Amino acid sequence: MSASPLPRGFFDRPVDEVAPDLLGRVLVHGDVALRLSEVEAYAGPLDPASHAYRGRTPRTDVMFGPPGHAYVYFTYGMHFCVNLVCAKEGTASAVLLRAGQVIDGLETARSRRPRSTERDLARGPARLCQALGIAREQNGSDVCTQGGPMLILPGEPADPSLIRTGPRTGVNGAKETPWRFWVDGDPSVSPYRAHVPRKRKPAV
């Protein structure tokens, strides 16, 4: 798929502006391309739900860098998730890429998730990373420079009349903040799940 990636200025804006504007854009990694249908915004040290809320750590260092880079993290000891860093350097804002439809490299994506239906191939942030082969090695990747391992192409922005917004999925802090954005009616959008506190096992 040949096209110039989105410019860095696209990401150098408030995270809640960038997030809905990513819907319909195309994420490319290797020979797999995906049209984004669902994202979530996180506002760094201002946002209790953000990994960067308590400040800079080795894990979150990429988030504090310049916009237009990927922040990839490992979760639950099993899965990777990918975010795109936004706003001015030092703000640590980022957009979590939650779901999308594979539009190129379908056979490669299927080989990575052989038991998945086409609808569920990249329906959820961990599945998205599995389908595109995104892992720790892509942390810090520049998504705005042609020839990089992972790019964000312009695609076709979602129709504004179809963009919906609501609370973010499964977060505890700032759980009512309506910074989850999705394309209404798109079958690849993941189901909403509220945060459920983990029950502690009683002491023996």
Does the structure show a pLDDT above 70 at 151? yes
Percent of the chain with pLDDT over 70: 93
Per-residue model confidence (pLDDT) at position 165: 96
Listed range (26-30, 111-115, 145-149, 167-171) with the worst mean pLDDT: 167-171
Beta bridge partners of 38: 99, 182
Does the structure show a pLDDT above 80 at 197? no
Please enumerate in sequence order all residues whose Cβ is within 8 A of that of 45, keeping only pairs 6 or more positions apart, or say none.
Answer: 52, 53, 54, 55, 91, 92
d(CA 182, CA 12): 21
Per-residue model confidence (pLDDT) at position 201: 56
Percent of the chain with pLDDT over 90: 73
Does the structure show a pLDDT above 80 at 198? no
Per-residue pLDDT reduced to its tens digit, 10-68: 999 999 999 999 999 999 999 999 999 999 999 988 888 888 888 888 888 999 999 99
Per-residue model confidence (pLDDT) at position 75: 82
Per-residue model confidence (pLDDT) at position 47: 87
Per-residue model confidence (pLDDT) at position 204: 46
d(CA 96, CA 111): 24
Average pLDDT, the chain: 91
Mean pLDDT for 95-123 is 95
Per-residue model confidence (pLDDT) at position 8: 97
Closest Cα to residue 132, out of 26, 36, 25, 33? 33
Domains of the chain and CATH, by start: 8-158 (3.10.300.10)
How big is the chain by its Cα radius of gyration, in Å?
A: 16
Q: Model-level pTM greater than 0.75?
A: yes
Beta strand residue intervals within the chain, DSSP E: 26-29, 32-43, 70-75, 79-86, 93-104, 150-153, 163-166, 180-183
**Element (DSSP H or E) covering residue 21:** helix 15-21
